Structure 1
Amino acid sequence: MSQGIPATLAHPSRRTLLKFGALASLAGLTGCGGNEAAGAGGGKAVTIVNTSSNSTLVLQELLDRQSYLPSVELSAKTQNVSDGSKLIASLLNGSTDITLLSGFGQVLPAIEKGAKLKIISGSGLLLAHAVYAKDSGIKSAQDLVGKTIGTGPVGALLHQIMVAFLAKHGIKSEQVKFVNIGSSADVFKAVAAGKVDVGPSLVDVYDQQDKYGVHAVAELWKELPEYTYQGAYTSDAAIKKNRDVLVRTLAAYAKLFRYISSPDSKTTYLDAYKKAVPSSDATEAGSMWRFAQQPGAYAVDLALNEDRLKYMQDLNVSQGVQSKVLPFDQIADMSLANDAVKML
């Protein structure tokens, strides 16, 4: 089962943010897996850091198979980390250039606290999560009042999206009981085992609800279309020093997003999923591919507008993760994405 973005660090606590500065002083990236993704280019090189979720590994495999990085005259070294704080740390200490498939809720409060980072494009725009329940009596958001909801830590991705979902339906956080279970996969297991009443998890299990004895209460990509799941971000220093390399990298990923959004990608995607996630089955892979066919699932033009970023900041402020909404130009630079699209 795919775990998605590491739930514990998708939206970190203030204590976690304080660690970024210390991590950034490291000479290298402790605990990174060195996955060589995409071979020879035209003399330009980029070092990419992404999370180690199943969906990310599959997209990297597709990127390699389609030779999208060499097509823009780049060679690349891709590192995958299990600890999301290392994404920011490695960008700030210069050991990597860019991350492309990560939630960026943690970036916004880091910028507020002085981190020299910029969000430079969208990636996976729609949440690839549903809210699952085991009790057949739980059929809507209103049925969640008084129930136990499994998520990650307060402020992390799974917790934040459930708070946003409840708020949309006029339900306050104090009307439910949140339990920190961990990752998306852990939450799903807890729901299926009846340890919690309900919880959000990825769509890799969406077509196996009968198998696990659960049902979907809500499809969050429909309930929260304004919530941006993933984006690309980098350091101000990298933009200044390696702008052309970053633009080319974004162009390669834009090709990937366009390909995965096309029905022509199915066979290659399923093959890539099997190689990247050997323990998975065809049903799981098929569920993830079908989700990618949803209109707007991926940022095929790399676009990430001001309204989307304001929504994320408003959500952070409402949960105490940020103290205020920052100006768009302080948190984002979309000129790189615009230049990348011109290369396509």
Structure 2
Amino acid sequence: MQTRRSLSVTGAAAVAGLAVVLSGSPAAAQAQSCPQGLRKLNIGVAVAPPNVVHTAPFVAKALGFFAKHCVDANIIQFDGGAAGTSVTAVGQGTAISNLPDVAIAQGLRARQIWGLAPRPPQAYVVTAEIKTPADLKGKRLSAAGGIGGFNWLMGREVLRKAGLAAGDVQFVSQGTAGRLPGFVAGQIDGVVLHPEDVYLVLKQKPGAHVLSTIADLLPNLAFNHYGAADSLIAKDRPLLVDAIAAMIEANRAIYRDKDKVAPVIVEATGKPRDAVEFAIDSLTKACVLSVNQGFVRERTEWTHQNAVDNGDLDAAKKLPFDKIVDMSIADDAVKAAGGPVTIGACKD
């Protein structure tokens, strides 16, 4: 494990299945303004290493937003937002992290508490010979993060556009870090990539092209929402409010100060500066990152119903919005971050 200059690595954490733990001591000057001291919290990131869209915790740490709100954050990287280790950590109350609505409906005692990114930023990228979804038959498609993970789910959605099923292709399980190199090396023929990786792959692999954006494929999809266990909400609600407030400030900084946040994101992602800046521009132009609560009720409800329609969730277990989301934490976090804002056309 390699030590970063702005984020010190503290080693492996005893949270279920944790891949990487990043931590560091907030500034002493900030600590002096915290009457109860700095409160520790494990904050999960859905991908290892993170994509640009996931970097609010890194920005919040590097720019002092966590310290400002008296939070000592350990940033934990999971290998896929739907990975069992991530959901387990949330359910056990040992971390907040990306939490799918289906996990709550299936009995996890937890709620979504903030929408990091209400809209999906990715594109489905394929090799040169694939012109339509029908051409995917018999091909090797990425299942980065495992069967049931986001790449697998989106691959299945693309296949449905051509009347194909998951059994009509070969899904290749791989770590999330293997998506881009695996595609460039010819190990897979179709993959969901984030904007920075789309930028890189179009330069590196002749003929590679975007078959569909996820936003066009599923325009109502709710993408990434942080969740917390009911037990953690009951025990440490003020801490959760402050941690979310810090990440709201971080998202706003990504919109407002690209030059300041770009070096932090470059270090966190390990991606070149030009690719990172391309991704920041893409995310902010499309209002992918939230600037306030990050919840769009219609998206949450559509995504939940889509899970029922796809057979991923028993219809008898379907939940109403207020059983999936604890909106009060996001509301209070927005207040702690200085109140609601609109940045350009972005207001979620």
Task: Judge same fold: TM > 0.5, yes or no.
Answer: yes
SS for the counterpart of 1:218 is strand
C-alpha change, 1:337 and 1:38, in structure 2 (3 Å) is farther
2:327 alignment partner, one of 328, 334, 337: 334
1:182 aligns to what?
174
Give the C-alpha shift of residue 123 in structure 1: 0.5
Q: How does 1:35-74 map to 2 (within 5 A)?
A: 35-37=22-24, 39=26, 40-41=30-31, 42=34, 43=36, 45-51=39-45, 52-55=48-51, 58-72=55-69, 74=70
Note if contact 1:68-1:256 (Cα within 8 Å) is conserved in structure 2: yes
- Structure 1: tracts of 5 or more residues without a match: 1-25
2:315 is the counterpart of 1:315: no
1:20 aligns to what?
none
Give the C-alpha shift of residue 160 in structure 1: 0.8
C-alpha change, 1:55 and 1:194, in structure 2 (3 Å) is closer
C-alpha change, 1:211 and 1:331, in structure 2 (3 Å) is same
2:106 alignment partner, one of 110, 113, 131: 113
1:238 alignment partner, one of 232, 240, 243: 232
SS for the counterpart of 2:246 is helix
Q: C-alpha separation between the residues in 1 aligned to 2:325 and 2:41?
A: 21
Note if contact 1:129-1:220 (Cα within 8 Å) is conserved in structure 2: yes
2:153 aligns to what?
160
1:266 aligns to what?
258
Q: How does 1:1-344 map to 2 (within 5 A)?
A: 28-29=15-16, 31=18, 33-37=20-24, 39=26, 40-41=30-31, 42=34, 43=36, 45-51=39-45, 52-55=48-51, 58-72=55-69, 74-83=70-79, 84-96=83-95, 98-99=96-97, 102=98, 104-105=99-100, 108-135=101-128, 137-144=129-136, 147-152=139-144, 153-167=146-160, 169=161, 171-173=163-165, 176-208=168-200, 209-213=202-206, 214-262=208-256, 265-277=257-269, 279-324=270-315, 325-343=318-336, 344=338
SS for the counterpart of 1:154 is coil
Partner amino acid, structure 2, of 1:276: A
Q: C-alpha separation between the residues in 2 aligned to 1:326 and 1:178?
A: 33
SS for the counterpart of 2:117 is coil
Partner amino acid, structure 2, of 1:331: I
SS for the counterpart of 2:333 is helix
SS for the counterpart of 1:127 is coil
Which one is further off, 125-134 or 52-61?
52-61
Q: C-alpha separation between the residues in 2 aligned to 1:194 and 1:30?
A: 30
SS for the counterpart of 1:80 is strand
CA displacement, residues 111-150 of structure 1 (integer Å, 9 cap, x when unaligned): 2332210011210222232121222x43344544564433
CA displacement, residues 2-48 of structure 1 (integer Å, 9 cap, x when unaligned): xxxxxxxxxxxxxxxxxxxxxxxx98545464422562441251402
CA displacement, residues 141-191 of structure 1 (integer Å, 9 cap, x when unaligned): 454456443334432111112223444x35332584142242454343343
2:5 aligns to what?
none
* Aligned alpha-carbon RMSD (Å): 2.9
Note if contact 1:28-1:95 (Cα within 8 Å) is conserved in structure 2: yes
Q: C-alpha separation between the residues in 2 aligned to 1:305 and 1:228?
A: 8
Which one is further off, 141-150 or 305-314?
141-150
C-alpha change, 1:89 and 1:297, in structure 2 (3 Å) is same
SS for the counterpart of 1:155 is coil
Partner amino acid, structure 1, of 2:302: Y
Give the C-alpha shift of residue 234 in structure 1: 0.4
- Structure 2: tracts of 5 or more residues without a match: 1-12, 339-348
CA displacement, residues 82-112 of structure 1 (integer Å, 9 cap, x when unaligned): 354333333333333x22xx2x33xx34323
SS for the counterpart of 1:273 is helix
C-alpha change, 1:223 and 1:231, in structure 2 (3 Å) is same
C-alpha change, 1:338 and 1:218, in structure 2 (3 Å) is same
Give the C-alpha shift of residue 67 in structure 1: 1.5
How many residues of Structure 1 are paired with residues of Structure 2 in the alignment?
307
Give the C-alpha shift of residue 235 in structure 1: 1.1
Identity of aligned residues (%): 18
Give the C-alpha shift of residue 269 in structure 1: 2.6
CA displacement, residues 46-96 of structure 1 (integer Å, 9 cap, x when unaligned): 402313432377433321232112333x12231414354333333333333
